[in-house]
Amino acid sequence: MHSARRFTNWRLTIALLSLILLVVLLLSVSIGPAKIEVQSIFRIILSQLPMSPVTPGHGASTSAEVIILLLRLPRALQAALIGASLAVSGVVIQSLFKNPMADPYVVGISSGAALGASTAILLGLGGLLSIPVLAFTGATAAAFIVYNIARTESGVVAETLLLSGIAVAYFLASITSFLLYTAGEALHQIIFWLMGGLWASSWPKIAVITPVFILSFVVLQLFARDLNALLLGEEPAQHLGINVDVLKKIILVSASLLAGVSVAFAGTIGFVGLIIPHVTRLLVGPDHRVLLPASALIGAIFLLTSDIMARTLLAPAEIPVGVITAFFGAPFFIYLLKTRRRNL
Amino acid sequence: MKIAAENLDVYYGEKQILHCMSMAPKEGSLIGVIGPNGSGKTTLLKTLSNTLKPRAGVVYLNGSKMSDLKSREIAKNLAVVSQDTSVGFDFTVYELVLMGRTPHIGRFEKEGWADRDIANAAMRLTNTVDLKDRLITTLSGGERQKVVIAKALSQEPNVLLLDEPTANLDIKNQIEVMTLIKNAVKSRAITAVMAIHDINLAARYCDEMMLLHRGEIYAIGSPKSVLTAENIKAVFGVESIVTDGPADGSIYVVPMATLEKKS
């Protein structure tokens, strides 16, 4: 009973999760107020592939094409990408702090990103990149501040980490609130955005998120073995020949990039970065070589599903997806606090 | 000489912990470092493992200056068993032992059969084969210590540094752990430096002993030559009787009373 019960076949696990993601993606694209047949959805999407012999077909109207290609498909893809980004960010933050309670929220990264993004909106900085760049800057700054407060000579103490993360998050949130107070006309826009949602998904945003995700993911995957060693502690990792200082910077920067770009384009969506790494670890174990891709896939599946619920539960009204993830996430967090206290 | 130190001055902040310390342990021997709390045992190990940088003096690993070596180069030759062996995440024993191969595997490589063989051999040497599929978090203190030693051995080091490997272990595990360390040192010709509190355990298993006093080497040599009533009195401030030990040629120290502090 003490031995590990996990899915030990990594390839099968990843293949299975990819298949589920594909199904949920298709589900997300086919659900909505306008009834569009699955067949025409396939035709519309396939017709967009380069050199595709498929045409949208006479059955599909132009409006269906617009709904699929400009509304549902980008939204589904963006939900998947952001879910994956938040989950991967959560995995490596937990490994860095050697603490399963850490996530981009707890360590202040999300608050830093929110402050950066709010600033960009308030300053009326146009352009696709100004919000993510400021969000990333805020996220990185918050991460480095919290990390340096929490670390001592013997490593990062969990309580100090949580407390300093909360303190920094509140401090940054107070500045964001002040900005909101003085926001005037932009207020509605910012609040709506802060609650977290995917309604503003678009192809240009996907074009920003995709390279950020791929770059961060590939780099982290190359350092997967180093991340494993880091779970033993900084000194033991050093004794295995790992340059811990470089590794920590890689983790903080890529986690901030992933969380920053997510917050910039979808607002603050809570708990994905906390729950998904946990659930994935229960399924595949703590080895980052499988944990990273599996978390990315499960994160994508989770946020896509949450977004489907956000769109359908009160249809035609839409619930911010952050509300859904927090609704499931907060009880889970409490459950973790109760059961995993020994790790604190 | 696999590891050697020359005139080490080591500071924590402005406080000097080690004073001009030199050592050159014989290859394939087990060196026990003893001394009161705060005498510099852990600091010495941390300096030898490159965790602390000496302000003056040099550590040599396989004849090269430690400060010239990359951490990966160091890890291929030197392994450390530290005092805190807690692992918070649920790795299996086998996964953990295999992690010892980390410095030998390139970034774009996977561990191969050779690495698995080495990890298996390390588990056989430490009697941890039966624990292979158990989660680290479910092991007892003694089992965990043996697994951590197996991980260090799968690094295939020439030099092994151990900080209090028997602390918090019951007597059965103390003896098991010391025996397997001794066996590993002898069968693989490893040079091992071990900080240890239990003088008698050290005397029984170590080839040589180093007695530290306020950051300096007070005595060095065979257990018999180091563990004299005079030395123990001078360094620990304890009156003691040194008698013949249970094993051949070994000795046994019985602490009797503390000395009154000179005012």
Instruction: Give the pLDDT mean for B21-32.
Output: 92
| ipTM surpasses cut 0.85 | yes
Tell me: cis bond preceding A316? Omega within 30 of 0 counts. Answer: yes
DSSP string spanning A232-277? T-HHHHHHTT--HHHHHHHHHHHHHHHHHHHHHHH----SHHHHHH
Q: Exposed (0-12), middle (13-18) or buried (19+): which is A18, by Cβ within 10 Å?
A: middle
* B185-221 pLDDT tens trace: 999 999 999 999 999 999 999 999 999 999 999 999 9
pLDDT, one tens digit per residue, over B223-235 is: 999 999 999 999 9
- Range with the lowest mean pLDDT among A230-234, B4-8, B127-131? A230-234
Q: Is the per-residue pLDDT at B246 higher than 80?
A: no
- Chain A: nearest CA to B85, how far in angstroms? 8
Q: Cβ B80–A239 below 8 Å, yes or no? A: yes
DSSP code for B16: E
Taking contacts as CB-CB distances below 8 angstroms, the residues of chain B near A231 are: 87-89, 91
pLDDT score of A64: 79
Q: What is the pLDDT of residue B261?
A: 59
Tally of domains in chain A: 1
Chain A interface, best mutation among B89, B143, B148, B149, by max A CB count within 10 A: B89
What does pLDDT average to over chain B?
90
Non-local (6+) Cβ contacts of B189 within 8 A are B27, B28, B158
* Lowest-confidence region among A107-111, A138-142, B168-172: A107-111
The answer on pLDDT for A121 being more than 60 is yes
Q: Can you tell me the mean pLDDT for B40-52?
A: 92
pLDDT tens column, A10-59: 889 999 999 999 999 999 988 877 777 777 777 888 777 777 666 665 55
For A57, residues 6+ apart whose C-beta sits below 8 A from its C-beta are: A40, A43
- Within 8 A by CB and 6+ apart from B177, the residues are B142, B145, B146, B149, B165, B166, B169
Domain boundaries, chain B: 3-258
Q: Could you tell me which residues are beta bridge partners of residue B239? A: B257
Spell out which chain B residues touch chain A, with contact meaning CB-CB distance below 8 angstroms.
49-51, 70-76, 78-80, 82, 84, 87-92, 95-96, 99-100, 102-103, 105, 107-108, 133-135, 138, 155
Determine, for residues A238 and B103 on separate chains, whether the beta-carbon distance falls below 8 Å.
no
Considering the domain B3-258 in this protein, what is its CATH number? 3.40.50.300
- From A64's Cα to the closest Cα of chain B, the distance in A is 46
Q: Which residue of B has its CA nearest to A287?
A: B91
Q: According to the model, what pLDDT value does residue A342 have? A: 41
Predicted local distance difference test score (pLDDT) of residue B81: 93
Q: Is A49 exposed, middle or buried (0-12, 13-18, 19+ CB in 10 A)?
A: exposed
Q: How far apart are CA B102 and CA B246, in angstroms?
A: 41
Instruction: State the pLDDT at residue B75.
Output: 94
Any domain includes A172: yes
Of B89, B95, B99, the CB nearest to A240: B99
pTM for this structure?
Answer: 0.87
**3-class DSSP assignment, residue A54:** coil
Count A/B contacts: CB-CB distance under 8 Å: 84
User: First vs last Cα of chain A: how many Å apart?
Assistant: 24
Q: Give the model's pLDDT for residue B221.
A: 93
pLDDT over 70 percentage in chain A = 89
Assess if residue A32 is contained within a domain. Answer: no
Q: For residue B7, what pLDDT is reported?
A: 92
* Choice among A52-66, A261-275, B128-142 with the minimum mean pLDDT: A52-66
Rounded to an integer, what is the distance from CA A113 to the centroid of its chain?
13
How many angstroms away from the CA of A180 is the closest CA of chain B? 41
Q: How far apart are CA A122 and CA B130, in angstroms?
A: 62
Q: pLDDT band for A70, please (50, 70, 90 cuts).
A: confident
User: Taking CA atoms, what residue in B is nearest to A232?
Assistant: B87
Reply yes or no on whether the pLDDT at B102 is more than 90. yes
pLDDT at A57: 59
Write down the mean pLDDT value for chain A: 83
Contact call for B133 and A286, based on CB within 8 A: no
Confidence band for A96, pLDDT divided at 50, 70 and 90: confident
Average pLDDT of A196-211? 86
Average pLDDT over residues B93-97: 93
Give the closest of B87, B91, B134 to A3, CB-based: B134
> Residue B262: what pLDDT?
52
Write down the pLDDT at residue A216. 96
To the nearest whole percent, how much of chain B has pLDDT over 70? 96
Question: What's residue A2's pLDDT?
Answer: 40
How close B261 gets to chain A, by Cα (Å)?
Answer: 33
**Higher per-residue confidence, A183 vs B56:** B56
Closest-CA distance of chain B to residue A32, Å:
42
Structural tokens at position A297: 């896939």
Instruction: Report if residue A139 sits inside a domain.
Output: yes
pLDDT of residue B159: 95
**pLDDT tens-digit series, residues B52-63:** 899 999 999 998
Q: What is the CATH number of the domain that holds A302?
A: 1.10.3470.10
Domain-embedded: residue A29: no
Residue A87, domain member (yes or no)? yes
Supply the DSSP string of B202-256, one letter for each residue: HHHH-SEEEEEETTEEEEEESHHHH--HHHHHHHH-EEEEEEE-SSTT-EEEEEE
Residue A246 lies in domain = 75-343
pLDDT score, position A126: 67
Q: How confident is the model at residue A344 (pLDDT cuts 50, 70, 90)?
A: very low
Q: Are the Cβ atoms of A241 and B107 closer than 8 angstroms?
A: no
What local confidence, expressed as pLDDT, does residue A54 receive? 67
Find the mean pLDDT for residues B24-33.
93
Of A2, A233, A243, the CB nearest to B138: A2
Residue with the bigger pLDDT between B236 and B250: it is B236
Question: Which residue in chain A has the smallest CA separation from B139?
Answer: A2
Report how far residue A66's alpha carbon sits from residue A61's, in angstroms, rounded to the nearest whole number.
9
Cross-chain CB nearest to A241 (options B74, B108, B134): B74
pLDDT, greater one: A331 or B154: B154
Beta strand B191-195 with B30-34 is parallel
The DSSP bridge partners found for residue A151 are A156
Give the pLDDT of residue B88: 67
| B91/A241 touch (CB, cutoff 8 Å), yes or no | no
Interface of A with B (CB under 8 A): 2-4, 98-100, 222-223, 225-226, 228-229, 231-233, 235-236, 238-243, 281, 285-287, 343
3-state SS assignment for residue A221:
helix
Lookup result for tokens 């051999």: B121
